[in-house]
Chain A
Amino acid sequence: MASTNNMKIHYGSLIGESPSFLRAVNNITIFSSSDATLLLLGETGTGKELFARAIHYHGLRNPKPFVPINCAALPDHLVENELFGHARGAFTDAHSEQRGLLAEAQGGTLFLDEVNSLSLSAQAKLLRLLQDKEYRPLGGSMARSADVRVIAATNSDLLKQVQARSFRQDLYYRLRTLHVHIPPLRQRSEDILLLANHFLNEYSLQYNRGRTFFSTTALEKLQGHDWPGNVRELQGVVHQAILMCGSTVVSDQDIALASNDTAPLILSGATLRTRKACAIAQFERTYLTELLSANEGNISNAARQAGKERRSFQRLLRKYGLSRASFLKSA
């Protein structure tokens, strides 16, 4: 839990004590009191959605909806429909009126992750929304007021995209009215062990493993890694380690980093239950990855093919930290 000015504040899963992280967290307190558009900048896996939620829940709009949307997952031709909804009869299959995500977020916060993925035409629509605070559902005759705070996030250098003319300059400046840079994990190495222990406790609870610890060599291995995938990578490594670990102590052999992920999958000394859980986890992860890949990130199709209900399929994806966005054709 982050602490600033000697005050313990609840920030969901934002955990850290390093100065660069605390600076970013401190901005949450400041920017929460504003209603201005905010841009979160940070590499993939740094926790941009966690920051967006923290800002929402510490702001004036906290009793209202928080609606996250991954722009990379939005096909260009559906952007307007998803965001603004449509009126009955707007197109051939529009048999009834459908609310868009803006209507779902009314009064609250709309979080646009990977905003850099929006096409130029979608960017124009977003800009118009930010400027006019109004939108018109597809096929609708009346403009509707959009009472939402927009928080956008990107892991790419938007200024470079502006220079390359793939991102609108006017939208860039509109979005970055307020901005927060979230530091990568390698720049907050003081937080690695704090986060690792937090995830270890979470997964110990999830798998009913009782109190579990890292060995000294495991801690050294974690501390020495560069973490290009940031906190999300660390979380995944700890998740696998707890499955691999056959005792209450997670050793360095249980830690499979990207550079040495050829470590033996089944460790000697592990119980049947542990080995089975590990094998199932590995199978499920591979299966889901292949399935999403084959279906180009379409969750409904993948769930149908797997013979699972969509929500329980999404639950599985969450369990293995798999994001549909990574499997889209354009990704």
Chain B
Amino acid sequence: MRLIFPTIKSVNTRWCLKIPQYTIGIRVACPYRLEMIIQQILSYVNEHPDAKDAFEGIQKYWLVGCPSSNSEELQNILDLLVSREWLLISDGGFSPTLYWLNKDMTGEVQLFLDRLAGRDREANA
């Protein structure tokens, strides 16, 4: 199995609270839903750092309790997270593409989740 490492190298750790900017080009019906889905996927891998699954498993099991997302939207989100190097993917010739947490980026993912949680707390206060 060959691992593909995303080509985007200029990761800006300050983009964390700038999701709308970052998601330019992603077709979504509702930006808040997009944010929730990203948060859910990252929370899942953060909590289960050894988890690994294909698209169908992510859609059905990593996103439990999340608003419904169509396939194109979810694929765009996964591509986005791979391009940020937060998720890694396999490109096995005879198995579907698998996605998992890039453990080298755990700190950045945690920071992102903390900031989102902090913002939600402020909004609810």
Contacts and interface: CB of A to CB of B under 8 A. Distances in A.
B56 A53 contact: yes
B3 to A, nearest CB: 8
Interface string A260-303: 00000000000000000000000000000000000000001000
Interface residues of B, number: 32
B68 A205 contact: yes
Interface string B82-116: 00000000111111111010000000000000000
Given A74-B94, A107-B50, A315-B72, A49 B1 contact: no
B1 A85 contact: yes
A88 interface: no
A175 B72 CA distance: 36
A11 to B, nearest CB: 9
Contacts of A65: 50-53, 98, 100
A202 B73 CA distance: 13
A82 B92 contact: yes
A130 B29 CA distance: 47
A90 interface: no
Given A10-B64, A67-B98, A311 B79 contact: yes
Contacts of A67: 52, 95, 98
A227 B96 CA distance: 27
Given A82-B92, A104-B90, A300-B93, A66 B68 contact: no
Interface string A119-163: 000000000000000000000000000000000000000000000
B97 A311 contact: yes
Interface stretch (A33-41, A94-102, A186-194, A248-256): A94-102
Nearest to B70: A206
Interface in A191-219: 202, 205-206, 208
B1 to A, nearest CB: 5
B18 interface: no
Contacts of A69: 94-95
Contacts of A78: 94
Interface string B39-73: 00000000110111111110011001000101110
Contacts of B51: 63-65
A314 B56 CA distance: 13
B75 interface: yes
Contact of A315 (B68, B75, B95): B75
Interface of B: 1-2, 29, 47-48, 50-57, 60-61, 64, 68, 70-72, 75, 79, 90-98, 100
11 contacts: A63-B47, A66-B52, A66-B53, A69-B94, A70-B95, A101-B1, A104-B52, A205-B68, A206-B70, A310-B91, A311-B91
Given A67-B95, A315-B75, 11 more contacts: A53-B53, A65-B100, A68-B54, A85-B1, A98-B2, A101-B92, A104-B52, A104-B98, A300-B93, A310-B91, A311-B79
